[in-house]
Structure 1
Amino acid sequence: MSETSDLIALRAAIPVIRIFDEAKALEFYVDYLGFTVDWSHRFEADLPIYLQVSRAGCLLHLSGHHGDATPGSTSFVPVADAAALHRELAAKAYPHLRPGLDEMPWGLQITVTDPFGNRLRFCEQRSAEASDADAG
């Protein structure tokens, strides 16, 4: 590696997710998924909101600003225990969604869709060794 590349520390990307209604976004991301609002910003009182939510090291930016993100996008979120998250979500009284727990070739996965058509795929990924054994 070059001397310059050793100094550049890349970190996990933070998805920007387009939202259209602040109350619905908070109901979904905070009340249902269990994220916490870290901060929010508006340039003026009647302009769209931009906020950061987090849960256990996962950061998401939610934006009401046109052009910040494409509605209907998908974010892949690694999770340590997909079954525990699935049980937690199933126990909540969120009337708009009942996600399944799907066994995929790459791991155990829960896909949720927010009120704006954006998908989050929470996945407990298989180790490379387990994936290699399945392929053989």
Structure 2
Amino acid sequence: MKFEPAIPVLRIFSVEKALEFYRDWLGMVVDWEHRFGHGYPLYMQVSRGPLVLHLSEHHGDGTPGTVLFVPLRGLDALLAELEGRPYPYQRPAIVPQDWGRELQLTDPFGNRLRFCEYPADDQAPP
């Protein structure tokens, strides 16, 4: 048996706002979109490198306000990239924590993405 990485499903309420945040600001790519028919809710996959998310307009998918913990290397580079793109709804900042450094972003639907960079010699929080 081999587990594959989990793919979080986040609830969205506006495709336009989701694309503005995930694609245009975070630099993610839309891998695919699915609707059961014309006028039905959208279900799509976005990714950036190994980070893969599913975004869903379906009523039963996900709960607004979900928190994602995303470990990464290069937190300063991510912050610099985000500051270089216009997005008037957030002023991201890196915050030191006992387990590393975090940059938290909140999407237009209340979902929070916590990007965390552990100290170079650590792999996970104590």
Q: What residue in structure 2 maps to residue 85 of structure 1?
A: 78
Q: Distance in 2 between matches of 1:130 and 1:43?
A: 40
Q: What residue in structure 1 maps to residue 101 of structure 2?
A: 108
User: Gaps spanning 5+ residues in structure 1: where?
Assistant: 1-7
Which residues of 2 match residues 1-136 of structure 1 at below 5 A?
8-126=1-119, 127-128=121-122
Shift of 1:131: 6.8
Q: Distance in 1 between matches of 2:36 and 2:123?
A: 49
RMSD between superposed Cα atoms in Å: 1.6
Shift of 1:129: 8.3
SS of 1:84's partner is helix
Shift of 1:77: 0.8
Shift of 1:128: 3.4
Q: Which moved more, 1:21-30 or 1:123-132?
A: 123-132
Among all aligned residue pairs of Structure 1 and Structure 2, give the percentage whose two residues are the same amino acid.
52
User: Which protein has the bigger helix share?
Assistant: 1
Query: After the TM superposition, which parts of structure 1 deviate over 6 Å for at least 4 consecutive aligned residues?
Result: 129-132
TM-score normalised per structure 2: 0.93
For these two proteins, the number of residue pairs brought into alignment is: 125
* 1:58-106 deviation digits (Å, cap 9, x = unpaired): 0000000011100011001111111110111111110111111111111
Q: Distance in 2 between matches of 1:20 and 1:130?
A: 33
Q: Distance in 1 between matches of 2:96 and 2:122?
A: 16
TM-score normalised per structure 1: 0.87
Q: In 1, are the aligned partners of 2:118 and 2:124 still within 8 Å (CA)?
A: no
